[in-house]
Amino acid sequence: MAATFAFLGTFLISLVVALLAAFLIGDYFKTGDEFILVVLALTIFIAAAIVAAAIGSAVAKRVQTLNWVAFALAAAAFAPVSTPRLVEWIAARSSNPHSVGIENSYLTLEILIPALLAVLVQWGLARRHWLRARGFEDLARWPWLTTAIASLAALNPIGLTVIASLLERSPANFMWRYFAMAAAAAAAALIAMALVECYIRGRILRRRLAARSR
């Protein structure tokens, strides 16, 4: 029963995170009536993902199994957006006349980014629950702080402006080069932060494991 409530809570948290990200992206790109279909697609995917995570957690003998389940779900998140007909079908319901010709890219972001965030949240919480239930150390090397900073940097008007400019590359978009340089610099900084955070977390984890083995 405790595991059921744990995964129910994980589902709700991942759903809230995904829908918040989708709302921020949709609001910036002036998504119209088609946003209902985006929410529906995300809800179905996240529900299926939590079922897969729960099954994986129940049958896993090692925590690495949960990692592979998360990788598979992340790959599955690309399936809907890699199906042109689905994105085009949703885009056909668009009520924003200013997004004609680029709405497929916007909708891809509205579905893909929230879905990947949901998988990441589910993996982190499912992994933590699995390790704690077996008395293992649950500290992960994953750079959660950097992930949060990257999400905040991308899902705000400035970050979304850079992303939108990168999607709209054309001879008339003379700012594309500068936005690309800014995005590359930000990505390099985030990668450096992630490596430092992983190193620090690794040292903390080794110390905790050494203390437990005494």
Whole-model pTM?
Answer: 0.85
Q: What is the dihedral of CA 193, 198, 200, 206, to 10 degrees?
A: 180
**154-201: pLDDT as tens digits:** 898 888 888 888 777 666 666 777 878 888 999 999 999 999 999 999
44, 99: one domain: yes
Is residue 98 scored above 50 in pLDDT? no
How many domains in the chain? Answer: 2
Domain membership of residue 166 as a residue range = 141-214
Q: Select the more confidently predicted residue: 38 or 13.
A: 13
118, 75: one domain: yes
Q: Select the more confidently predicted residue: 124 or 89.
A: 124
124, 146: one domain: no
Q: What distance in Å separates the CA atoms of residue 127 and residue 142, rounded to the nearest whole number?
A: 12
- Last residue of a domain, which of 84, 116, 138? 138
Is residue 81 scored above 80 in pLDDT? no
83, 10: one domain: yes
102: three-class secondary structure by DSSP: coil
117, 201: one domain: no
179, 91: one domain: no
- What mean pLDDT is predicted for residues 3-13? 87
156, 133: one domain: no
186, 146: one domain: yes
